[in-house]
Amino acid sequence: MYNLIGAGLIVIGGGIGLGQIGGKAMEGIARQPEAAGKIQTAMIIIGALLEGLAFGALILGK
């Protein structure tokens, strides 16, 4: 039960983080479309780091 609540919290946190990353990346691309490639790569890396964090927490809590 507590596990599930914790998992929910992790997902909320991760979702907020991913939303921020994605939103800001979109803004960046809209502002500078010529830098889209670099922004995407950086976005994916940061997304991956966040994902690692969230998955780590999920698995440690399981």
Partner 1 sequence: MIATKSIKFFTILAVVFSSLTCFAASGGSTDTKEGQVNTPESINAYIKHHLADSHDFALYSYTNDAGERKHVGFPLPVIVWTSKGLKTFMSSEFHHNDDGHVIVEKGDVKLVKIHSKIYELNEGADHVVFDAHHHATNAHKVLDFSITKSVFGMLLAGLLMLLGFSSLARGYKKGAIPTGVGRLLEPLVLYVRDDIARPNIGEKKYKKFMPYLLTVFFFIWILNLLGLTPLGFNVTGQIAVTACLAIFTAVIYLTNGSKDFWAHTLWMPGVPKILRPVLALIELVGFVLIKPFSLLVRLFANITAGHFVVMSLIALMITLKNQFGPVASTGMSLLLTLFISVIEILVAFLQAFIFTMLSALFIGMAVEEHDHEHAH
Partner 2 sequence: MEQLLNDFSPGLFFMQVLILGIILFLMFKFAWKPILNSLNEREEGIQNALDEADNARKEMQNLQADNQRLLNEARAERDEMLKEAREMKNKMIEDAKEEANAAAAKLMEQAQATIETEKKAAISELKSQVANLSIEIAEKVVREELSNKDKQVKLVESMLGEATLN
Binding site for partner 1 (CB under 8 A): 41, 44-45, 48-49, 51-53, 55-56, 58-59
Q: Judged by CB, which is closer to partner 1: 29, or 58?
A: 58
Of these partners, partner 2, partner 1, none, which one is at the site of residue 53 (CB under 5 to 8 Å by kind)? partner 1
Two structure tokens written together for 19:
């939303």
Two structure tokens written together for 52:
């690692």
Distance in Å, CB of 59 to partner 2, minimum:
6
State the virtual CA torsion across 39, 42, 47, 52 in degrees, nearest 10. Answer: 170
Q: Report the candidate in 49, 42, 39 with the shortest Cα–Cα distance to residue 17.
A: 49
Distance in Å, CB of 1 to partner 2, minimum:
17
